[in-house]
Amino acid sequence: MHLRVLSSATAGLPHALPTLAWAALLFMAAGSAQVAIAASQHTAKQAQACPAYSGGITVPPGFCATVFADNVGHARHLVVARNGVVYVNTWSGRYYGNDRPPPGGFLLALQDTTGNGHADVTVRFGGTLETGDAGGTGIALYRGGLFAETNDRIVRYKLVQGSIEPKGPPETIVSGLPLTGDHPMHPFAIDADGGLYVDLGSATNSCQKANRMPNSPGVQPCTELETRAGIWRYDANRTGQVFSPKERYVTGLRNGDGIAIDATGHGVFATQHGRDQLGQNWSSLYTTTQSADLPAEELMRLERGADYGWPECYFDDVQGKLVLAPEYGGDGGKSVGPCASKQRPIAAFPAHWAPNDLVIYTAKQFPRAYRNGAFIAFHGSWNRAPLPQQGYNVVFQPLSNGKASGKYVVFADGFAGAEEDPGGAAHRPSGLAVGPDGALYVTDDAHGRIWRITYQGGNSAAGIAAALSPRNASAASGGMNGSDNPLPPEGIHPDAGANAAGKLALPAGATAEQVALGSQIFHGAVGGAPCAGCHGPDGKGTPLGADLTSGKWLWGDGSLAAITKTIVEGVPNPKDHTGAMPPNGGANLSAQQVSAVAAYVWTLGHDRSP
């Protein structure tokens, strides 16, 4: 264009233009080109700049992560309105140790009025503890209404122009949704016609006669499937609907926490949390390592009337097929039986990562390679012992024509911080949403943080890339969201080595060596028991298991004998937590190992050192 302008500017000039004048014009043209190149380079440099603080996570080159909001409660799923207001559903109850939620309603409206990428307006509304509500997971927008799960209902709030907070009481769209068992939440999505797809997760792990107990056979037939372990379809345009078995859309989904609609407005996708405890409950068929690696987590394309296999089948991603579960005659992954006729996933992911949400990316801010692919938030594992716990990330799965079109990559990582386990994780990804500008939002239900991820790379043709590994991120020079002076997450404590051994109380008759062995068993290094996965690596409890350090004993008087008895007999019906404990933690512990881990648990409960 510049040359054409130059040509136009010189039209009609005498052909005998002095050489000096031509030189001056050429110099000016060259100078303008250099200025243009410099400006372009400056723009590219600006496009790649990110704020210094990413909230502790890493993303691929060209992307930026910032903290949009923090400490908002146990944030589950979220949705972003066309005006940029972010609506979040939060949850409470025994899954979070019955802690006290922030004051106000469980629903939040968050708004950034300054354009700096951080919410500066927060409004809480909806049910509260005082009104008998416990919050929920599911949330969506449809035809001017905000839909949200609360207790056993999905309700609709009317949004009014000029206010980010809904006005008036909500209307009940559907009520009577089951609340019992292992998976009481009700995530949902709404298609373009108002089809309301609701996940009703299974009440049990694998439909055993005794849930999560060793060698307990499966219920035959699994009557739980009549009201659980599937997706139900209702009409978002109608009020007063009541749950019943007849609205079931698909079956055989153990827990479809993530549900998403594609760009057509009608294609429905869902994730599945695979079953637990193959090795713990069927130790004659599976090793603890096999149990850590099986079964795969799954991504499904939903088709009305389809059966995705639970509880009879699970997906073995090593063999690439559905195989028969041990509760229903399986032999450790060899037999297929009725699983040959079940619906396969379109993509599979590592075992026990726990896919908590799903969004199909249809916006245009990210490079084209991400268009119509799936982002999945993995909450993180608790039961991969003796292997390290994993997950605690967001992955991207490319899709084409409703099928996987490539391998997944870890798109955002580092949420857990230094400890990848339920008790020690700094943050746990739980919800995903895409804003009107194409930004990706990620919630954390451990400590209530919300991230906003944008693309600043300036290259729409860039390919799919993985996040920098968190352990390498701080060492990357000039990396996005990096730091010139990284510090360990524990901080700098010069005297940390003083009195490292401490003073450990021991139960009568136990030795320090025995307690040391018990610690190894507790943390999964010996024996294969997932103790730390449920009770936390520090023993201070998680939503799955009790705090062993408080001195409060739910089963027995805290004596070594009572602790040993609880370990040997297990806890099939926990009082205050969600995780049933099989005898010996589901592991084949010897009497010596049981004594050792009991002694270690005793020390946790009787340690009163500061």
Q: Over the chain, what is the mean pLDDT?
A: 85
Q: How far apart are CA 13 and CA 10, in angstroms?
A: 6
DSSP state of 186: -
- 261: pLDDT confidence band, cut at 50, 70 and 90? very high
**Residue 315 resides in a domain:** yes
Q: Name the β-bridge partners of 142.
A: 145
Domain C-terminal end among 425, 456, 473: 473
Q: How far apart are CA 76 and CA 523, in angstroms?
A: 28
Average pLDDT over residues 522-526: 76
Is the pLDDT score of 494 beyond 50? Answer: no
Is the pLDDT score of 299 beyond 60? Answer: yes
Whether residue 599 is found in the same domain as residue 464: no
Q: How far apart are CA 2 and CA 4, in angstroms?
A: 5
**Residue 337 resides in a domain:** yes
Whether residue 124 is found in the same domain as residue 248: yes
Is the pLDDT score of 75 beyond 60? Answer: yes
Whether residue 356 is found in the same domain as residue 460: yes
pTM of the model: 0.80
Instruction: Select the more confidently predicted residue: 469 or 225.
Output: 225
For residue 564, what are its two tokens? 């040993």
Whether residue 462 is found in the same domain as residue 522: no
Domain harbouring 590, CATH code: 1.10.760.10
Whether residue 211 is found in the same domain as residue 302: yes
For residue 510, what are its two tokens? 């136990």
Average pLDDT over residues 125-137: 94
How does pLDDT run across 193-215, given as a tens digit for each residue?
999 999 999 999 999 999 999 99
Q: What is the pLDDT of residue 555?
A: 83
Residues of the domain holding 544: 512-606
Number of structural domains, the chain? Answer: 2
Is the pLDDT score of 127 beyond 70? Answer: yes
**Residue 25 resides in a domain:** no
Poorest-pLDDT segment among 278-287, 486-495, 546-555: 486-495
| Cα→Cα distances 12→17, 26, 491, 554, Å | 11, 17, 73, 97
- 44: pLDDT confidence band, cut at 50, 70 and 90? very low
- DSSP helix, strand, coil percent of the chain (3-state; round to 5): 20, 25, 55
Q: What is the pLDDT of residue 134?
A: 93
Is the pLDDT score of 33 beyond 50? Answer: no
Whether residue 293 is found in the same domain as residue 428: yes
**Residue 498 resides in a domain:** no
Whether residue 469 is found in the same domain as residue 553: no
**Which amino acid would we find at residue 266?**
H
Whether residue 459 is found in the same domain as residue 581: no
Whether residue 469 is found in the same domain as residue 519: no
Domain harbouring 448, CATH code: 2.120.10.30
**Residue 247 resides in a domain:** yes
Average pLDDT over residues 298-306: 98
Q: How far apart are CA 480 and CA 102, in angstroms?
A: 33
Domain C-terminal end among 449, 473, 497: 473
Is the pLDDT score of 29 beyond 90? Answer: no
Instruction: Select the more confidently predicted residue: 11 or 151.
Output: 151
Average pLDDT over residues 75-100: 92
For residues 356 and 394, the answer to whether their CB atoms sit within 8 Å is no
Domain C-terminal end among 473, 502, 529: 473
Whether residue 465 is found in the same domain as residue 524: no
404 alpha carbon, distance to own chain's centre: 20
For residue 131, what are its two tokens? 């009104």
**Residue 440 resides in a domain:** yes
Poorest-pLDDT segment among 91-95, 114-118, 457-461, 525-529: 525-529
Residue with tokens 């659980």: 228
For residues 533 and 422, the answer to whether their CB atoms sit within 8 Å is yes
DSSP letters of 102-114? PSS-SEEEEE-SS
Q: How far apart are CA 50 and CA 113, in angstroms?
A: 20
For residue 495, what are its two tokens? 């005297």
Is the pLDDT score of 410 beyond 80? Answer: yes
For residues 89 and 538, the answer to whether their CB atoms sit within 8 Å is no
How does pLDDT run across 213-222, given as a tens digit for each residue?
999 999 999 9
Whether residue 122 is found in the same domain as residue 249: yes
| Cα→Cα distances 555→551, 576, 588, Å | 12, 11, 22
How does pLDDT run across 179-197, given as a tens digit for each residue?
999 999 999 999 999 999 9
**Residue 47 resides in a domain:** no
**Residue 372 resides in a domain:** yes
Percent of the chain with pLDDT over 70: 85
Percent of the chain with pLDDT over 90: 65
For residue 421, what are its two tokens? 């386990």
For residues 560 and 602, the answer to whether their CB atoms sit within 8 Å is yes
Whether residue 216 is found in the same domain as residue 299: yes
Q: How far apart are CA 370 and CA 372, in angstroms?
A: 6
Q: Kindly tell me the sign of the dihedral angle through the C-alpha atoms of 531, 534, 535, 536.
A: positive
Nearest residue to 470 (alpha-carbon basis) of 430, 418, 431, 428 = 418
